[in-house]
Copies of this chain bind each other. A is one copy, B any other.
Amino acid sequence: MTEGIRDRVAIVGMGCTKFGERWDVSGLDMMVEACYEAYEDAGLEAKDIQAAWLGTVASFNTGQPAAEALKLDYIPITRVENACATATDAFRNACYAVAAGIYDIVLAVGVEKLKDTGFAGLATGVASGSGVEPPSPPPVQFALAATSYFHTYGLSYDEGKRVLAQIAVKNHHNGALHPKAHLRREITLEQVLNAPMIAWPLGLFDCCGVSDGASAAIITTPENARKMRDDYVLVKGLGIAVGGRQGLLRDDYDFVHFPENIAAARVAYEEAGITNPRQEIDLAVVHDCFTITELIIYEDMGFSSRGKAKEDVESGAFSLEGDLPVNPDGGLKCFGHPIGASGLRMIYEVYKQIQGKAPGPPERQLKKTDIGLTHNLGGRPGSFTCSVAIFGRRD
């Protein structure tokens, strides 16, 4: 009989670097920056860490660089890679090891150095010998989802483009307020609509940027957490689903909703005991690699009915003042997507919001933050890795 992760592990410290073009630092430097902020937040030292999980896609091969950079002393350090869900999967494995009672205090860190390492974009991420042809670049993959969505729900180009543009404008508004975001500026609807086209119908502002960054979490048992701080954050649910292209052969594969999203959310919601996500979730930080992705996520996560996300976007439901703020930190749109770091960057925002300590000006702090969700999606239609994680305030 299996049991979920709900309330069995807690986050007692987190750190996050400034994201952006960090020409002046290495991946190791950023790892140190994020982890030492997390240590300080948790009130502990490197020597207290009993095991670590390192999420990274393009920056390191093994756990060894983390051992050196963080001066961890012959403990286990596991490198996890799982497309854009890399950091969340590193976090998940760390949680399971604590829930199993193997360790008391562990570290999960995600890091990616993309700007000065010749990283040519996600499309090159196919290893030799995989038997998989290099996919078309991500904008093209998600443009296909956009045209499918517009077609399925009867949106004209102008209508669909305007809905997507509102998501970009919202996220830039939010990111402009966040001191650690990469792109900290507001944009207008007109800027989005008139921007250069990248992959029709997705323009420049429909796409997230490329940046460097790292984020880290200290995980322990709730029993330990209680001794360490009052405002620890509980893990409520962790779902991951990986699709293997055979999904494309199914009659119900619509290129609009992604079965990996739905499968991962089902597990996370079941563990967390969430039956009405729109009502029960107070904030969500989701994988807006493209504006269309965020639109689809609204529906796949159950925030909006199928085909109805447009109405929620237009009513402002997902803005900072809405009933379910999505990407209150500005999302990938403003943080960019240092692949192995993004999942933990999202958890950092939820953690800080739940604690009532959102970095930046007071208007960034959301009013109701009992339950938060993070979501990652990596890969391509038919073969995604999706992670959904739910976090909650201590009782």
Interface residues of A (CB under 8 A from B): 1-5, 8, 26-28, 50-51, 57-72, 74-83, 89, 92-93, 96-97, 99-104, 113, 116-119, 125-132, 239-247, 259-260, 263, 378-379, 383-385
Contact = CB atoms under 8 A, between A and B. Distances in A.
Given A61-B126, A242-B64, A81 B81 contact: yes
A4 B101 CA distance: 7
A111 to B, nearest CB: 10
Contacts of A82: 62-63, 77-79
Contacts of A385: 62-64, 77
A58 B126 CA distance: 11
A62 B387 CA distance: 13
Given A78-B89, A89-B78, A102-B4, A83 B62 contact: yes
Nearest to A53: B93
Given A57-B61, A242-B72, A130 B27 contact: yes
Given A58-B129, A65-B244, 6 more contacts: A2-B103, A27-B129, A63-B242, A78-B92, A81-B81, A96-B97
Nearest to A126: B61
Nearest to A98: B100
Contact of A80 (B1, B79, B104, B130): B79
A7 B263 CA distance: 32
26 contacts: A2-B104, A3-B102, A4-B102, A27-B129, A51-B240, A58-B128, A61-B81, A61-B126, A64-B83, A64-B383, A64-B385, A65-B131, A69-B244, A71-B246, A75-B241, A76-B89, A76-B92, A76-B240, A77-B82, A78-B80, A78-B89, A78-B92, A79-B80, A79-B82, A80-B80, A100-B100
Contacts of A131: 26-28, 65
A314 to B, nearest CB: 32
A78 B62 CA distance: 15
A50 B240 CA distance: 11
A243 B67 contact: yes
A129 B119 CA distance: 10
User: Which of A1, A96, A247 has most chain B Cβ within 10 Å?
Assistant: A96
Contact of A60 (B117, B130, B263): B130
A68 B126 contact: no
A59 B130 contact: yes
A78 B385 CA distance: 10
Given A3-B101, A129-B113, A131-B28, A244 B72 contact: yes
Contact of A62 (B69, B74, B129, B379): B379
Most chain B beta carbons < 10 A, residue from A69, A80, A125, A245: A80
Nearest to A52: B242
